[in-house]
Amino acid sequence: MRFSNANRTGWRATSAEKRGFARRLFGFPQSCCSEIFAALNSDELEAVGTPVAKIYTPTCLLFAAWLLLSGCTATFAQYRYDNPPAPTSHNPELLTGAIVFGETVRSDEVPAVDILARDEAMDRFVEDYVLDRRVSAARLKRLMRRLEEEGYFDGSYDAYKTQTALETFHSRRGNCLSYTNLFIALARAAGLQANYQIVAVPPTWNADSGMLIRNNHINVRLTGARYSQMHSDEYTVDFNALTSTEDYSRWRVSDTYAQSLYYANVSVEHIRLGQHRVGFVYLLKAIELVPGNPDLWINLGAFYSRHEELESAVEAFHVALELDPNNKAAISGLARGYRYLGRLELAEGYERKVRKYRLKNAYYHFAVAQSAFEEAKYDESLAAIDRAIGIKRRDSRFHFLKGLAEQKLGDEEAAHKSFARARRYGSIEDKRRRNGSGYAVTG
């Protein structure tokens, strides 16, 4: 269901149906594949001083039943994520897990995974339906069309299922990292130049089972295949039709970086299931591949925080802050960690930074509004979403949630206006030209 259709004038869906749409659109309380977990309730959103375990995993937004193909018009940042510098120093004990498990944990306790491996069935898929086209653009069109015709994108999104290309091909399920793995593996088999790409989408904070989740995004950068005369030969193949990524900064990343993100995702999935040792092992594998990714050290701090090993958590957050001095999650983790360790002067210094950031962060207020809405505190939700809109007026999700809150408070006229604004700010159809094959093309 597309956003504009769901909010068209005269919509007579029930409140439950609208709320169901909000869950699909915003992801609350359902999460996505790129996550930060935090043991928060709505009161704790307003407070600093609760030990919170936050876990980052790579990137994804809501998956759609078609592909988006957009020209790569955004400026690529000078800093590439391919090989970020490793931390200059850290306590090696952090990577042993001994403080939690009583013994050294090794990363080879689980086997390495090739996220782009193919089998004969995948090769036949490409040979039978794609390779008969000599022109690369024709192979691209054929590959995208064939994937859609085979039903690979028919409601098969699964936020908590991070898979390799091979697994995704056969199960036809997975999150956006899974489908990105699949597309890159098939595209390269077809002789296309496909690479991973991180997209700097605005943070979207979602409440899920007492946790907070931030969704990021990953997609495919494809070069050397001119889709049509009106487009360049650089494209983004995107598995998200709800949020345009064409105006956001993007960074091409290496296969090694993507492999690390895969391990980080799998780590989170095991931790969610209570399989903490396996989750720790996968996190080790992720850090070994890309030790300069601050998100992975935040995950490590979160892991120790969840196990109430706050000294180790603080050490890990400091490593993340060394790698990224402005990392808000690291600052927040240090504020909580130091407060619970009783080191109040240090805690208060970091807390001031957290409060300053939160007051200016529309997505923080959005998180407060979401949590309040889920707890039926509609006045509080409305007040929080108004603060978010005051900071960032043109985010369609803010206006949609405002409409839901106003509807719950009995103000149908105000809700109708909010839904109209959400439609105006969020319409994809106004920005993209759909073609007959089911995916959209912009350049």
State phi, psi for 221 to the nearest 5 degrees: -100, 125
Q: Which residues of the chain have pLDDT under 70?
A: 1-82, 155, 202-216, 226-233, 240-248, 427-443
* Entry pTM: 0.75
pLDDT digits (tens, 9 = 90+) for 15-69: 443 444 333 333 332 223 333 332 222 233 333 223 333 344 434 433 322 233 3
Q: Which residues of 384-398 are buried (b: 16+ CB within 10 A; e: fewer)?
A: bbebbbebeeebbbb
Q: Which residues of 401-433 are buried (b: 16+ CB within 10 A; e: fewer)?
A: bbbbbbbbeeeeebbbebbebbbebbbbeeebe
Nearest 5°: CA angle at 292, between 180 and 348? Answer: 110
Residue by residue, DSSP assigns 154-187 as SS-B-TT----HHHHHHH--B-HHHHHHHHHHHH
Q: Which fold has domain 3-30+361-433?
A: 1.25.40
Q: Which CATH architecture has domain 68-344?
A: Alpha Horseshoe (1.25)
Nearest 5°: CA angle at 294, between 288 and 295? Answer: 90
AA identity, residue 172: R
AA identity, residue 271: I
AA identity, residue 170: H
88 token code pair? 């200059």
Of the candidates 371, 397, 386, 365, the one whose C-alpha atom is nearest the C-alpha of residue 22 is 397
Q: Which regions of the chain carry the CATH code 1.25.40.10? A: 3-30+361-433, 68-344
Number of alpha carbons in the 13 Å side-chain half-sphere of residue 121: 8
Q: Is the dihedral of CA 9, 12, 15, 21 positive or negative?
A: negative
Nearest 5°: CA angle at 314, between 310 and 316? Answer: 115
Taking the CB of residue 283, how many other CB atoms lie within 10 A of it?
A: 29
Give yes or no for a contact between 299 and 56, defined as CB atoms under 8 angstroms apart: yes
Distance CA 250, CA 117 (A): 25
Of the candidates 40, 67, 65, the one whose C-alpha atom is nearest the C-alpha of residue 55 is 40
User: Where are the alpha helices (H) located in 41-156, listed in sequence order?
Assistant: 42-45, 98-101, 120-129, 136-149
411 token code pair? 């103000």
Of the candidates 399, 392, 387, 391, the one whose C-alpha atom is nearest the C-alpha of residue 427 is 399
What is the crossing angle of helices 120-129 and 136-149, to 10°? 120
pLDDT at 419: 94
